[in-house]
Chains A and B, each alone.
Chain A
């Protein structure tokens, strides 16, 4: 729950940053409509920093706001990020969407965030059964890059191994093409093409998305097959090697398509093929921006 010590430290950092003029805007979390919910808050005045808070209910990836024009116009920005969200900031810097000089990263140590569906029912304990799958495989409980670090007071997440994160991926990999097709056809059939996955994604920053390009019309815009599958396939492709696994697309999806099963699988494949993980190093070149003469060639005749 809201931890006064971490909150105090966070508020002090934010206040100093705003007062000294190092940043013009702080993006952070504040208490939401009920005690189990957090919502984003945008703070421009030092006296407003008391609104800032952080807890294991802070599920949203705030890095998504960094791509918005309304936020960009503030110039220098401070942002409150968990370890996973911080990787999105790194990826944006890697892809020249953001300048390291224009951003102050307030890293929040985090030992997992509670699934919103459970939190809404009153779950308050962080444990391996209540956190998102991404938290179980998280290697960055402390953000990899930060200007200020706010340590957590939460106990470390204990992982017994009984809960298998993204267990479906292995199941799907073992299926035949027909079975996989049946699985995905059923999932994509639900898609209503609301593009919430795109809007919630910190790395979908194209000002004009492929789906909005209509000369030629690459992707059917009506919400039925095959356009649905095409949309989800192309989005997954555009994110492969880039997705940092914050899981916001899946959380935003109103019809619960398990999008992270695709994104996580692609992240694993890219790691296996090219040894690259997205968002860990701001000086690394994006995986598809470079090549090696010894890249995987077995599939080519």
Chain B
């Protein structure tokens, strides 16, 4: 965390772009469901667990509500990585929202990859309300992965 703070200070002083982050401090967006993953993240917070602060959490009722358009929009606005997370299969608060979204995302992910988006930048996970530690692990791993990617920002979402 020390290093990160130093890095942050450096950025405040100068070069980093305003809100989308840089390669060393990338902005990640996490679309999470209200019932499982959000509570998992909440648990991580109340348990005083530390995790990468690059992530911005957007809470929605259910993974079934997370339209692939949201991912597109996040990338378009400059996010370096997008995470979609919800309840484990069988645990959906609305019975089947996550099953439906799993079908959608299996296909949407293929489409993204086919159109030349680096699939390392999109991540999906099932995190329950009791899995604060899994949330921490997923976020930290994802952040590290994005940081390790070459600083290539040209994909179909970048403005020329």
Contacts and interface: CB of A to CB of B under 8 A. Distances in A.
A291 B72 contact: no
B114 A181 contact: no
B125 A301 contact: yes
A236 B111 contact: yes
Contact of A180 (B76, B104, B114): B114
A188 B108 CA distance: 18
Nearest to A268: B110
Contact of B115 (A233, A269, A292, A300): A233
B90 interface: yes
Interface string B103-126: 111111111111111110001111
A236 B117 CA distance: 15
Given A172-B114, A300-B126, A295 B159 contact: no
B53 interface: no
B156 A173 contact: no
Interface residues of B, number: 41
A184 interface: yes
Interface string B125-160: 110000000000010000000000000101111111
Interface stretch (B8-16, B27-35, B39-47, B94-102): B94-102
Interface in A261-300: 262, 265-266, 269-270, 273-274, 287-288, 291-293, 295-297, 299-300
A225 B76 CA distance: 10
Nearest to B124: A300
Contacts of A178: 116, 152, 154
B7 interface: no
B156 A188 contact: yes
Contacts of A265: 110, 114
Contacts of B103: 273-274, 287-288, 291, 295
A226 interface: yes
B100 A181 contact: no
B156 A291 contact: no
Interface in A149-195: 172-173, 177-185, 188
Interface string A32-47: 0000000000000000
A301 B103 CA distance: 15
Given A229-B156, A293-B99, A299 B116 contact: no
Contacts, number: 122
Contacts of B69: 210, 218, 234
Given A293-B99, A301-B138, A234 B158 contact: no
A83 interface: no
A124 interface: no
B138 to A, nearest CB: 6
A293 B72 CA distance: 27
B104 A230 contact: no
A240 interface: yes
A73 B100 CA distance: 35
Given A293-B99, A301-B123, A237 B117 contact: no
Contact of A229 (B113, B115, B152): B115
Interface string B32-74: 0000000000000000000000000000000000001100110
B116 A218 contact: no
A122 to B, nearest CB: 37
Interface string A220-233: 00001110011001
A241 interface: yes
9 A-B pairs closest in CB distance = A181-B116, A229-B156, A180-B116, A291-B99, A301-B125, A300-B124, A269-B110, A177-B118, A226-B157
Given A173-B114, A288-B104, 19 more contacts: A177-B119, A177-B155, A181-B154, A225-B160, A226-B156, A230-B72, A233-B115, A237-B107, A237-B111, A262-B111, A273-B103, A273-B107, A288-B103, A291-B96, A291-B99, A292-B99, A295-B103, A297-B89, A299-B106
